[in-house]
Amino acid sequence: MSSTDANGANGKPAQQRFDPNFTQHVIDIMGPATTERNRKVFGSLIRHLHDFAREVELTPEEWMAGVHFAIAVGKISSPTRNEAHRISDILGLESLVDEIANKIIAEGDVDPTSSSILGPFWSPNAPFRENGDSIIQNPNKDGKVCLMHGTITDLLTGKPIPGAVFDIWQASANGKYDFQDPENQTPNNLRGKFRADAEGKYSLYCYHPTAYSLPTDGPSYELLKTLDRHPMRPAHIHIMVTHPDYKGCTTQLYPKDDPWLETDTVFAVKDDLILDFQPREGDPKATLDLEYNVILSPKDYKGKQF
Amino acid sequence: MSSTDANGANGKPAQQRFDPNFTQHVIDIMGPATTERNRKVFGSLIRHLHDFAREVELTPEEWMAGVHFAIAVGKISSPTRNEAHRISDILGLESLVDEIANKIIAEGDVDPTSSSILGPFWSPNAPFRENGDSIIQNPNKDGKVCLMHGTITDLLTGKPIPGAVFDIWQASANGKYDFQDPENQTPNNLRGKFRADAEGKYSLYCYHPTAYSLPTDGPSYELLKTLDRHPMRPAHIHIMVTHPDYKGCTTQLYPKDDPWLETDTVFAVKDDLILDFQPREGDPKATLDLEYNVILSPKDYKGKQF
């Protein structure tokens, strides 16, 4: 609205296409017992929701389609299927929340290993195994075995972190986790915790990971079709690296030649999480070799402030 | 980001707290088969969703609470209970969508009657009744009977609109509509359609309306408590006024002394929808009198453009 519009030619207040006070009114009727945090979160949510509706001039039919979609998301969800979680992943929200919570940009040249989303398949019950052991309990004929190894170091000193726990989990070569595949996999297949040695090193046998599709029978797939997007996640290995004196790092690692890296349906790929598998010679247990090093920042490290 | 920040002092690209390309990437992977409208709607939705999350630095715990809330909304919904509709009402979204779709600001001094939300209780089956008839089929001992009457006129000419249909529905004095109260009310109690006479006039007997509460047993009430808000709707009468040559007007009318006008939980009150009930003398059928006139704009009238 230009300044000449602020008062109409007839001296009456200028009119606008939409009531300029509506959104503030919806925010302002929050009562005095609302916590400061809820006042901030819901105030921002209401403002963005209304700005969205005005910006696209959302129609009653589109609004009602959204209402029906929201109900369908709740209806199909179950203790083993969280469709609301999946919808927020498809819209990039979980990755963004993970970045907000966990991103650290170092003051020096090297950053700590990037975090990525936990996903729904981590288990608190994975067993400790010895360095050099395999997490493959139930071999799959299509699995390509890999020796994975590396060093866990301190961001600031570059020194190894003995005793750091390297927790790994992955789907089998059929694209399914143990939870999802009880006919082929025993509990804790392709899961394990490894403790870094005195030189901060871990090593284990696992599979080269396999890409898989999100379910194609519910509202999340309907949304993907509406957006003309595929339902594929790139192949990935999950890790969670922890030590009492350091900030933990939960992340996912991806083969560099995976075709879905650029268009991951949940937006969980970052440059430093790309893996370079090499052929492995002379090891009867593995045909592939993977070195992946992890950098943790000290518990009280804040990083660059903005 | 100020221009001096665009390149860091060391010549490397300046860093930001969050990845500045993330949101655009989530938008840009929509495929070529997305319709132009969906590209616009979901592009705006994703941008506002992400801006909201960054603005409040939404935590993983808050995000997960939202995921669980969304599932609970779907789970409690049924063919006779639409909790997602109610949540969007509490956040002001249905009233805003109604304004976007229906608001007309006249070029002259008089505006057409404001629209307001339809709500879930309109019925396509309400019977036609004669002017001067009552919509009260099942008297309620607490109901205060009112003769409601008025003229339906053309915005531009001020002339009456004979044959306009005045469709009215309201809750009984216990705060319940016929659908919700089969033990006390027969179908179409407190519903009726009236055809304006040659002078554009309608008249009928109805009840002074009664305020009522939204349900207090589900996620919508949890949200209201979080926002420290009450669950009350002000007393109201619903009307839908139509004629083939005019834009229809669906709206709600409110007694001027209702205590919930300023804080209506669904934000459906507008100034020209406030009613002034008067005592009625010498009518054995009613103790109250209400004149309410409706102004419709012609079907092709655009109003003031912005």
Token pair in block for residue A216: 């194609």
3-state secondary structure of A156: coil
How far apart CA B70 and CA B58 sit, in angstroms, is 16
d(CA B92, nearest CA chain A) in Å = 6
d(CA B193, nearest CA chain A) in Å = 24
Torsion angle of C-alpha atoms A12, A18, A20, A26, degrees rounded to 10: 140
How far apart CA A248 and CA A101 sit, in angstroms, is 12
CA distances from B193 to B134, B138, B142, B159, B249 (A): 11, 17, 24, 21, 14
Average pLDDT, chain B: 93
How far apart CA B271 and CA B289 sit, in angstroms, is 20
CA nearest neighbour of A188 among A122, A117, A243: A122
Segment B38-62 mean pLDDT: 98
Strand partners, B207: B145
The class that CATH gives domain B104-296 is mainly beta
CA nearest neighbour of A91 among A218, A223, A212, A219: A223
Q: Are B91 and A49 a contacting pair at CB < 8 A?
A: yes
Beta strands in A182-298 (DSSP E): 191-195, 201-207, 212-213, 232-233, 237-242, 249-255, 274-275, 278-279, 288-291, 294-296
d(CA A27, nearest CA chain B) in Å = 9
Q: Residue B7: its pLDDT value, please?
A: 42
pLDDT of residue B5 exceeding 80: no
Q: Residue B305: its pLDDT value, please?
A: 79
- CA atoms within 13 Å, Cβ hemisphere of B302: 3
Q: Residue A305: its pLDDT value, please?
A: 79
The closest CB to that of A48, out of B32, B48, B99, belongs to: B48
Tokens 């945090």 correspond to A37
The closest CB to that of A29, out of B53, B55, B263, belongs to: B263
Q: Residue B13: its pLDDT value, please?
A: 53
| Chain B CA closest to residue A306 | B17
Token pair in block for residue B17: 């707290």
Angle at B27 between CA B21 and CA B31, to 5 degrees: 130
- Strand pairing report for A165-169 and A191-195: antiparallel
Check residue A107 and report its DSSP letter. Answer: S
DSSP A4-28: GGSB-TTSSBPP-SS-TTHHHHHHH
Q: Residue B10: its pLDDT value, please?
A: 47
- Does residue A48 contact residue B52 with C-beta atoms inside 8 Å? yes
Max mean pLDDT among A100-109, B97-106, B280-289 falls in B280-289
Mind spelling out the 3-state secondary structure of B52-90?
HHHHHCCCHHHHHHHHHHHHHHHHHCECCECHHHHHHHH
pLDDT of residue B158 exceeding 80: yes
H helices within chain B, ranges in order? 22-28, 36-56, 60-76, 83-90, 93-102, 219-226
Strand partners, A206: A146
d(CA B1, nearest CA chain A) in Å = 10
Max mean pLDDT among A177-186, B72-81, B286-295 falls in B286-295
pLDDT of residue B9 exceeding 90: no
How far apart CA A266 and CA A88 sit, in angstroms, is 9
Q: Residue A80: its pLDDT value, please?
A: 77
Strand partners, A26: none
CA nearest neighbour of A194 among A226, A244, A239, A248: A239
User: In what helix (H) or strand (E) does residue B206 lie, and over which residues does it extend?
Assistant: strand B201-207
| Chain A CA closest to residue B262 | A29
pLDDT tens track, chain A, 306 positions: 333 344 444 444 556 788 999 999 999 999 999 999 999 999 999 999 999 999 999 999 999 999 999 999 999 999 878 999 999 999 999 999 999 999 888 888 899 999 999 988 899 999 999 999 999 999 999 999 999 999 999 999 999 999 999 999 999 999 999 988 999 999 999 999 999 999 999 999 999 999 999 999 999 999 999 999 999 999 999 999 999 999 999 999 999 999 999 999 999 999 999 999 999 999 999 999 999 999 999 999 988 877
Q: Residue B230: its pLDDT value, please?
A: 97
Instruction: Burial-class residue B7 by CB neighbours within 10 Å (0-12, 13-18, 19+).
Output: exposed
- Does residue B220 contact residue B74 with C-beta atoms inside 8 Å? no
Q: Residue B15: its pLDDT value, please?
A: 64
How many other β-carbons are positioned within 10 Å of the β-carbon of residue B48? 22
- Does residue A83 contact residue A218 with C-beta atoms inside 8 Å? yes
How far apart CA B223 and CA B90 sit, in angstroms, is 8
How far apart CA B45 and CA B28 sit, in angstroms, is 13
| Chain B CA closest to residue A12 | B109
How far apart CA A42 and CA B93 sit, in angstroms, is 13
CA distances from A243 to A127, A135, A299 (A): 17, 21, 9
CA nearest neighbour of B23 among A136, A258, A92: A92
Torsion B64-B67-B71-B77 (CA) sign? positive
- Does residue A122 contact residue A251 with C-beta atoms inside 8 Å? no
- Does residue B171 contact residue B212 with C-beta atoms inside 8 Å? yes
Q: Are B25 and A267 a contacting pair at CB < 8 A?
A: yes
The class that CATH gives domain A83-296 is mainly beta
CA nearest neighbour of B268 among B98, B80, B23: B98
Q: Residue B304: its pLDDT value, please?
A: 86
User: In what helix (H) or strand (E) does residue B178 lie, and over which residues does it extend?
Assistant: none
Q: Are B84 and A63 a contacting pair at CB < 8 A?
A: no
Q: Are A31 and B306 a contacting pair at CB < 8 A?
A: no
Q: Are A96 and B34 a contacting pair at CB < 8 A?
A: no
Residues of B in contact with A25 (CB under 8 A): 267
Q: Where are the domains of chain A?
A: 3-58, 83-296
Q: Residue B2: its pLDDT value, please?
A: 37
Strand partners, B251: B239
| Chain A CA closest to residue B27 | A91
pLDDT of residue B277 exceeding 90: yes
How far apart CA A71 and CA A86 sit, in angstroms, is 15
Q: Are B229 and A29 a contacting pair at CB < 8 A?
A: yes
pLDDT of residue B95 exceeding 60: yes
- Does residue A8 contact residue A14 with C-beta atoms inside 8 Å? yes
| Chain A CA closest to residue B260 | A29
Q: Residue B16: its pLDDT value, please?
A: 78
d(CA A173, nearest CA chain B) in Å = 27
